C-alpha cells in the first residue's frame, strides 16, 4: 500500500471523536482498557462503584491529554446501569463502544457452597452485562448508522473459564459460558447493522480479582499458578484496542488470550 493510503487507513480506524463506556474501570483490566482507549483518541466514560478510584483514573487520563467522565454505578441494579448509559450519552453526546468488563470470580466447590457467592456472580457477570448491553444497544445502533466510523462495538469480557470448565469453578464457569452464548446470539442479531460484538477471554491476569476469594480458595489458586508469569491488565487492554480499531468490514468475534505458561 502506498504511504499516503496507509496513513489514511490508520486515521480511519483511530477512535478520535468516538465515545467509549467501560464498566469496572476502577481497577485491573477495566482501568487499563479505559487508558488504552483514551490513548487512541476516544472520550471515555468510566464506571464502577469506587468513585475515588475513578476520580484518580480520570485525572491520569487527562494528564495524558485524554478526556474521561466518571460515573458511580452498580451495574447489578438495572436502573443504575440504564442511567449510566443515559448519563454517558447526555454528557458526551454519543456512544460508540461499550466494554462490559465488570465481573467477580468467587471460586470454590459446589458442595456446601455459600450460595450468596453464586448470586453475586450471576447478578454481576451475567445480569449486569445484560442490563448494560440492553441500555446501550439503541445508542450503538445509532452510532453505527450515523457515527464518525459507521461502526460500533460491544466488547464482552468473558474468560478462559467461558471455554474450559474446571473443578472448583462451576458457577463462575456458568456465568462466563453464559456471556459467550449471549454474545454470539447478539452478534448474529446486530452484526449486519454494523454493531460488532467481540468476546475477550483472558487467562490469568494480575489484578484484584482473586482478592475476593475465601482464604483457603485463594491459597489453592496461588498454588495452581505458582511459577506462571501472569499477564498484566495492559495485555488485555491491547487486545480490546486491537478489536475495536479494525476497519469497518472486519469483526474480531473472539479472542482467547492466555499467559504463555498457562496450560489450561
Ligand X SMILES: NC(=O)c1ccc[n+]([C@@H]2O[C@H](COP(=O)([O-])OP(=O)(O)OC[C@H]3O[C@@H](n4cnc5c(N)ncnc54)[C@H](OP(=O)(O)O)[C@@H]3O)[C@@H](O)[C@H]2O)c1
Residues designated as active site: 172
Q: How far apart are CA 143 and CA 28, in angstroms?
A: 28
- Is residue 171 at the binding interface for ligand X, with CB under 6 A as the rule? no
Number of residues lying near ligand X (CB under 6 A): 29
Site residues for ligand X, 49-68, by CB under 6 A, read 49-50
Residue 1, classified by CB atoms within 10 Å of its CB into exposed (0-12), middle (13-18) or buried (19+), is exposed
Name which of 28 and 66 has its Cβ closer to ligand X: 28
Q: How far apart are CA 240 and CA 156, in angstroms?
A: 10
> Smallest gap, in angstroms, from Cβ of residue 67 to ligand X?
20
Query: In this chain, which stretch among 25-33, 91-99, 145-153, 216-224 interacts with ligand X, using CB under 6 A?
Result: 25-33
Q: How far apart are CA 43 and CA 37, in angstroms?
A: 8
* E strand or H helix at 90: helix 78-92
Instruction: Map residue 21 onto helix, strand or coil.
Output: strand
The binder of ligand X chosen from 157, 180, 243, 244 (CB under 6 A): 157
- Is residue 251 at the binding interface for ligand X, with CB under 6 A as the rule? no
Helices 28-39 and 233-244 cross at an angle (nearest 10°) of 50
Name which of 50 and 214 has its Cβ closer to ligand X: 50
Q: How far apart are CA 163 and CA 201, in angstroms?
A: 8
Q: How far apart are CA 3 and CA 18, in angstroms?
A: 25
C-beta of residue 207 within 8 angstroms of C-beta of residue 233: yes
Q: Mark 207-236 with x for binding to ligand X (rule: CB under 6 A) and - for no binding.
A: xxx---------------------------
Name which of 75 and 98 has its Cβ closer to ligand X: 75
The binder of ligand X chosen from 55, 74, 78, 220 (CB under 6 A): 74
Residue 172 DSSP code: H
Q: Mark 91-130 with x for binding to ligand X (rule: CB under 6 A) and - for no binding.
A: ----------xxxxx------------------x------
Residues contacting residue 105 through CB under 8 Å, at least 6 positions apart: 121, 159, 161, 172, 209, 210, 212, 213
- Is residue 70 at the binding interface for ligand X, with CB under 6 A as the rule? no
Structure-block grid coordinates of residue 160: 478462559
The binder of ligand X chosen from 28, 66, 108, 147 (CB under 6 A): 28
- Is residue 132 at the binding interface for ligand X, with CB under 6 A as the rule? no
Binding site for ligand X (CB under 6 A): 23-30, 48-50, 73-76, 101-105, 124, 157, 159, 202, 204-205, 207-209
Amino acid at each position: 500500500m502506498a504511504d499516503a493510503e496507509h496513513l489514511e487507513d490508520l486515521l480511519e480506524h483511530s477512535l478520535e471523536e468516538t465515545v467509549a463506556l467501560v464498566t469496572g474501570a476502577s481497577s485491573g483490566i477495566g482501568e487499563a482498557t479505559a487508558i488504552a482507549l483514551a490513548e487512541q483518541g476516544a472520550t471515555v466514560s468510566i464506571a464502577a462503584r469506587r468513585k475515588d478510584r475513578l476520580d484518580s483514573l480520570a485525572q491520569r487520563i487527562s494528564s495524558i491529554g485524554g478526556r474521561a467522565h466518571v460515573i458511580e454505578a452498580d451495574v447489578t441494579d438495572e436502573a443504575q446501569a440504564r442511567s449510566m448509559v443515559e448519563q454517558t450519552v447526555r454528557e458526551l453526546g454519543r456512544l460508540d463502544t461499550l466494554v462490559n468488563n465488570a465481573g467477580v470470580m468467587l471460586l470454590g466447590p459446589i458442595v456446601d457452597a455459600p450460595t450468596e457467592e453464586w448470586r453475586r456472580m450471576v447478578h454481576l457477570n451475567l445480569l449486569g452485562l445484560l442490563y448494560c448491553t440492553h441500555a446501550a444497544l439503541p445508542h450503538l445502533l445509532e452510532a453505527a448508522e450515523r457515527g464518525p466510523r459507521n461502526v460500533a462495538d460491544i466488547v464482552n469480557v468473558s474468560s478462559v473459564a467461558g471455554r474450559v470448565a474446571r473443578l472448583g469453578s462451576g458457577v463462575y464457569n456458568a456465568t462466563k459460558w453464559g456471556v459467550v452464548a449471549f454474545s454470539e446470539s447478539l452478534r448474529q442479531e446486530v452484526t449486519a447493522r454494523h454493531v460488532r460484538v467481540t468476546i475477550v477471554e483472558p487467562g490469568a491476569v494480575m489484578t484484584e480479582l482473586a482478592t475476593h476469594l475465601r482464604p483457603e480458595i485463594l491459597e489453592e489458586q496461588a498454588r495452581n499458578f505458582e511459577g506462571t508469569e501472569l499477564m498484566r491488565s495492559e495485555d488485555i487492554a491491547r487486545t480490546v484496542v486491537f478489536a475495536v480499531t479494525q476497519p469497518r468490514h472486519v469483526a474480531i468475534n473472539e479472542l482467547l488470550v492466555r499467559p504463555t505458561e498457562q496450560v489450561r
